[in-house]
Amino acid sequence: MCGIVGYVGKKRACGVLVEGLKRLEYRGYDSAGICVVHEGRLHIVKAAGRVSKMEALALADVDVQAGTIGISHTRWATHGAPTEANAHPHTDSTGRIALVHNGIIENYATLKKFLIDKGHVFVSETDTEVLAQLVGSFYNDGKTSLADAVLAALGEVTGTYGIAVVCQDEPGTLVVARKGSPLIVGVGTDEYVVASDAAAIIEHTSNVIYLNDNEMAVLTSEGMRTTTLDNVPVRKEIRQIEWSLEQIAKGGFEHFMLKEIMEQADSIQMALGGRLDMRDMRVQLGGLEKVSRELVKTRKIILTGCGTAWHAGLVGEFLFEDLAKIPSEVEYASEFRYRNPIVEDNTTVIAISQSGETADTLAALREAKDRGALALGIVNVVGSTIARETDAGVYLHAGPEIGVASTKAFTCQLIVESLVALMLGRRRFMSQFAMEKYIEALAAIPEQVKTVLASSDSIKEMVGEYADQENWLYLGRGYNYPVALEGALKLKEISYIHAEGLPAAEMKHGPIALIHEGMPVVFVAPRCGTYDKLVGNIQEIRARGGRIIAVVTEGDDEIAKLADHAFFVPDCPVPFQPILTVIPLQLLAYHAAVARGCNVDKPRNLAKSVTVE
């Protein structure tokens, strides 16, 4: 997904901008560009492909190297191919104003026609150039300031944007604005570093201002002015970024994804931290206190999210019905927002999102809020848009997740859902005795995770035998059915192997036709109420020549003997099994992708945070 970095201060801007873009590379992009203002002129360098290619060109340009104010961008193509011409920054027709943009200008075609009729000539296919030229047209027509021209242009725009703008006639001013696309202002000494993601700011300062939708900031090395897009002044509080640079770096692992898989014992411990009261044996969630009375009266829970977060929601559906006895359903955020959903009184919507910025999840949340639902968030990124727009919520505290394929965020999402379900269950009907059993089990999970992670090498060895197989099936039942979906998604995302996840009993209604000699079939089959049925399903696959890879409970020889390969997870209450059973599947996907030479952390066509529809 696109990334923005901007700088104004006393340092040479180029270094800050390029290093910042490198920190955002994990988000996925296909071209990069930079604009530095020096001696009253804009100096722009762009390239299709990696940031390093653009950096080499920037290093050879003395003017780009010299300026102390500039903007930069990594683009993930939406309008027009990933070419140099379409890369940001884009300029107005006089070449005096340059702009970078995340998001989509929905009425760009109408605006473009209007501008062409006025004599503007376009050099790219992008919606962003339309915005740049529109700003330029207000600037040149009205002889206004850059900030006023930006406000006037944004007044004409429908769509979403995070933008950063510079102008050669106002060589000390950086203008930024947002609507629907994140922007954070890092506040240093005599300098500001602006970015769409905290990862690009953290090495300069941990003091930040989160711009809200419909807000603008005008930054110079002397100070900052913030207003709404209606030009009403707003006071912004300086907040602290919680994450350190070391947390963001790879920590000695070959890939971020492996690091994030391997640190799950710690991330789960963080997610549980301070929330399990082991003395009174209860769950305490400070983030939900202010809504707890309303929450206890909830008659229905709607869980919504996208991708892996949606799979977490699917587990949540089981958890809230099973542990809290509240009717629950999970909805794809992208579908929920458009299908005129019925939101009755006393409904709670829970938006699940690692980034807190996923456009569809945010839109679904807003839809549910408009219809009167209590809005909760289960989010990782502190201060993200979803976190700020919910009535209350529980952060994951999983630490930054950089690998595009979500791993530790998923297990922490399951932890947080379990905590919320237990808290509600206890306040509604659950006995203290049952509660204690669950709390003890949750407290034991981090140690149990360590034993599952120890199987990484044997999973790697097993995967070697199957890495050339192009079709895999993942099957599970009950709580472990969403795990089968998540295991299949992980494999697809990073190894480009076709994989399908299904509730195991559905196999006989069609997908069993796919089974052929040697086809790998993964069973998520820990001890549970449907264990015997799963044994039957395994036999059906074996009879047709499929190879069985099973995730089973420690000490279970029955399925282990039937399977070609078995990976063990410690015993725990069924509602918490997915937290453990998903880990061998994350490792399987990781090792398969490495064996196939895939770019694990930056899989093709994918973005970490999808902030457009």
Active site positions, annotated: 2, 608
Q: Is 186 helix (H, G, I), strand (E, B) or coil?
A: strand
Q: Which contiguous run of DSSP H or E holds residue 309?
A: helix 307-323
CA atoms within 13 Å, Cβ hemisphere of 206: 6
| 180 touching ligand G6P, by CB under 6 A | no
Q: Choose the binding region for ligand G6P from 248-256, 299-307, 341-349, 522-530 (rule: CB under 6 A).
A: 299-307
Q: 153, 185, 193, 160: which is closest to 71 by C-alpha?
A: 193
| 304 touching ligand G6P, by CB under 6 A | no
The total of other beta-carbon atoms located within 10 Å of residue 6's CB is 32
| 353 touching ligand G6P, by CB under 6 A | yes
C-beta nearest to ligand G6P: residue: 307
Which residue in the set 42, 164, 309, 319 belongs to the binding site for ligand G6P (CB under 6 A)?
309
Which residue in the set 308, 348, 407, 418 belongs to the binding site for ligand G6P (CB under 6 A)?
308
The residue among 137 and 380 lying less far from ligand G6P, judged by its C-beta, is 380
Contacts to ligand G6P from residues 357-386, by CB under 6 A:
358, 361
Question: How far is Cα of residue 207 from the mean position of the Cα atoms in its chain?
Answer: 22
The residue among 74 and 361 lying less far from ligand G6P, judged by its C-beta, is 361
Q: Give yes or no for a contact between 381 and 365, defined as CB atoms under 8 angstroms apart.
A: no
Q: 29, 36, 90: which is closest to 65 by C-alpha?
A: 36
The residue among 484 and 538 lying less far from ligand G6P, judged by its C-beta, is 484
Q: Give yes or no for a contact between 2 and 51, defined as CB atoms under 8 angstroms apart.
A: no
| 589 touching ligand G6P, by CB under 6 A | no
The residue among 257 and 538 lying less far from ligand G6P, judged by its C-beta, is 257
**Per-residue mark of binding to ligand G6P, 247-286 (x: CB under 6 A):** ----------------------------------------
Which residue in the set 59, 249, 296, 606 belongs to the binding site for ligand G6P (CB under 6 A)?
606
Question: How far is Cα of residue 486 from the mean position of the Cα atoms in its chain?
Answer: 15
Contacts to ligand G6P from residues 386-405, by CB under 6 A:
404-405
Q: How far is it, in rounded angstroms, from Cα 394 to Cα 453? A: 26
**Least Å from the CB of residue 468 to ligand G6P:** 25
**Residues forming beta bridges with residue 207, ordered by sequence position:** 240
Helices (H) and strands (E) in the chain, counts: 21, 26
Which residue in the set 195, 291, 306, 552 belongs to the binding site for ligand G6P (CB under 6 A)?
306
**Least Å from the CB of residue 584 to ligand G6P:** 19
Q: 467, 478, 483: which is closest to 569 by C-alpha?
A: 483
Structure tokens at 21: 């873009």
Which residue in the set 162, 307, 393, 578 belongs to the binding site for ligand G6P (CB under 6 A)?
307
**Least Å from the CB of residue 588 to ligand G6P:** 17
**Least Å from the CB of residue 453 to ligand G6P:** 20
The residue among 562 and 592 lying less far from ligand G6P, judged by its C-beta, is 592
Which DSSP string do the residues of 471-501 spell out, in sequence order?
Answer: EEEEEE-GGGHHHHHHHHHHHHHHH--EEEE
Rg (CA), the chain: 26
Residue with structure tokens 């020549």?
545
DSSP state of 289: G
| 354 touching ligand G6P, by CB under 6 A | yes
**Per-residue mark of binding to ligand G6P, 311-350 (x: CB under 6 A):** ----------------------------------------
Which residue in the set 355, 385, 390, 537 belongs to the binding site for ligand G6P (CB under 6 A)?
355
Q: Show the beta-strand stretches assigned E in 205-294.
A: 207-210, 215-220, 223-228, 239-240, 276-277, 282-283
Residue with structure tokens 């807003």?
366
What contacts 538, CB < 8 A, 6 or more positions away? 523, 525, 548, 550, 559, 562, 563
Number of residues that bind ligand G6P (CB under 6 A): 17
Structure tokens at 288: 């939900």
**Least Å from the CB of residue 319 to ligand G6P:** 18
**Least Å from the CB of residue 188 to ligand G6P:** 28
Sequence letter at residue 513: A
**Least Å from the CB of residue 268 to ligand G6P:** 17
Q: Choose the binding region for ligand G6P from 51-59, 169-177, 239-247, 354-362 (rule: CB under 6 A).
A: 354-362
Q: 577, 600, 597: which is closest to 587 by C-alpha?
A: 600
- Residues in the site for ligand G6P, rule: CB under 6 A? 305-309, 353-355, 358, 361, 404-406, 606, 608-610
